[in-house]
């Protein structure tokens, strides 16, 4: 896996900050796509140009016909595809690392605050922010901005995957024919050119296509799963939400009839409103 090690190492880091389906997606990527590409596809396409033979003696004709038939080789196309779909994940990793870095700094600041006396503590607590993403166990939970970033990366991945699958279809179709007919200078007339190992190549093309579709389906399922979870949590929170009357503005405020009413109002205010999260919290 030599050259893919760095990519593997970086994508592994994201694993701990993805959903379960995200982890499955990563495994599919590494085993069914990268490994197959390295061990199988490269050997099959190894003699693609040397064994591309045209029925002509005209020098240069084979070169130009090969160039016309394969503007970019399948293997290179798949390499670019894998790099392209890994990129949104790497951008998400960047965001996660940034969040971890910021939260670490906040925690350090909070530790320093604890050493101050209570009075200054009270004043400073309101001024400083509190770590938002770190759970009590020390892990990062995917919520708020991080969740938004995760969903965006999923959408980008899906879009790129579809783009490359459609691109491959438009360039080559999904199987290779044995014969390619070519009429390009300097070929003197319509020339028959014969590909090397078309059947074996078609098998691998189908395999890589299926792997790409599986990855696409996994990404779609993950998106759907996140949506469903978000809706469920939203509904659950709405049910827990006890409606308390909001304190009326001073002009409309009446004097409390008795002491009990005043205490009840105070208690309501103390309970406060639920946390104001834009996208809600997802515990994965």
Reading the block at residue 265, the tokens are: 């109002």
CB 6, min distance to another protein, A:
5
Interface residue list for another protein (CB under 8 A) = 2-7, 10, 42, 49-50, 58-60, 62-64, 66-67, 70-73, 75-76, 79-80, 83, 86, 90, 94, 98, 185-186
Q: Is the dihedral of CA 29, 33, 38, 40 positive or negative?
A: positive
Distance from C-alpha of 133 to C-alpha of 61, rounded to nearest angstrom: 62
Reading the block at residue 1, the tokens are: 């896996």
CB 200, min distance to another protein, A:
18
CB 160, min distance to another protein, A:
15
Cβ-based nearer residue to another protein, 201 or 282: 201
The secondary structure of residue 21, as a DSSP letter, is H
Cβ-based nearer residue to another protein, 84 or 279: 84
Buried b (16+ CB within 10 A) or exposed e, 13-45: ebeebbbebbebbbebbbebbbebbbeebeebb
Judge whether 182 and 68 are in contact, CB under 8 Å: yes
Distance from C-alpha of 74 to C-alpha of 179, rounded to nearest angstrom: 17
CB 191, min distance to another protein, A:
14
Three-state DSSP class for residue 136: coil
Cβ-based nearer residue to another protein, 80 or 162: 80
CB 153, min distance to another protein, A:
16
Distance from C-alpha of 193 to C-alpha of 81, rounded to nearest angstrom: 28
Cβ-based nearer residue to another protein, 81 or 215: 81
Cβ-based nearer residue to another protein, 186 or 274: 186
Cβ-based nearer residue to another protein, 3 or 108: 3
CB 121, min distance to another protein, A:
25
- Bridge-partner residues for 54, per DSSP? 193
* Among 68, 70, 6, 82, CA closest to 37: 82
């Amino acid at each position: 896996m030599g050259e893919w090690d760095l990519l593997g190492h970086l994508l592994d880091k994201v694993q701990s900050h993805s959903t379960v389906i995200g982890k499955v997606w990563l495994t599919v990527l590494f085993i069914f796509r990268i490994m197959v590409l390295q061990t199988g596809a490269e050997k099959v396409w190894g003699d693609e140009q040397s064994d591309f033979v045209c029925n002509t003696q005209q020098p240069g004709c084979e070169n130009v016909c090969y160039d016309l038939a394969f503007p970019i080789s399948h293997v290179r196309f798949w390499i670019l595809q894998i790099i392209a779909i890994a990129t949104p994940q790497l951008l998400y990793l960047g965001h996660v690392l940034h969040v971890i870095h910021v939260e670490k700094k906040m925690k350090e600041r909070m530790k320093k605050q604890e050493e101050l006396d209570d009075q200054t503590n009270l004043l400073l607590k309101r001024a400083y922010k509190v770590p938002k993403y770190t759970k009590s166990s020390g892990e990062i939970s995917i919520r708020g901005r991080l969740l938004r970033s995760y969903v965006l990366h999923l959408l980008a991945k899906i879009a790129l995957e579809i783009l490359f699958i459609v691109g491959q279809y438009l360039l080559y179709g999904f199987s290779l024919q044995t014969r390619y007919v070519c009429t390009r200078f300097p070929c003197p007339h319509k020339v028959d050119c014969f590909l090397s190992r078309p059947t074996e190549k078609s098998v691998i093309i189908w395999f890589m296509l299926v792997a790409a579709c599986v990855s696409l389906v996994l990404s779609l399922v993950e998106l759907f799963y996140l949506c469903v979870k978000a809706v469920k949590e939203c509904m659950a929170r709405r049910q827990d939400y006890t409606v308390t009357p909001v304190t009326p503005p001073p002009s409309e405020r009446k004097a409390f009839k008795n002491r009990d009413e005043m205490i009840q109002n105070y208690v309501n205010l103390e309970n406060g409103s639920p946390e104001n999260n834009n996208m809600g919290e997802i515990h994965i």
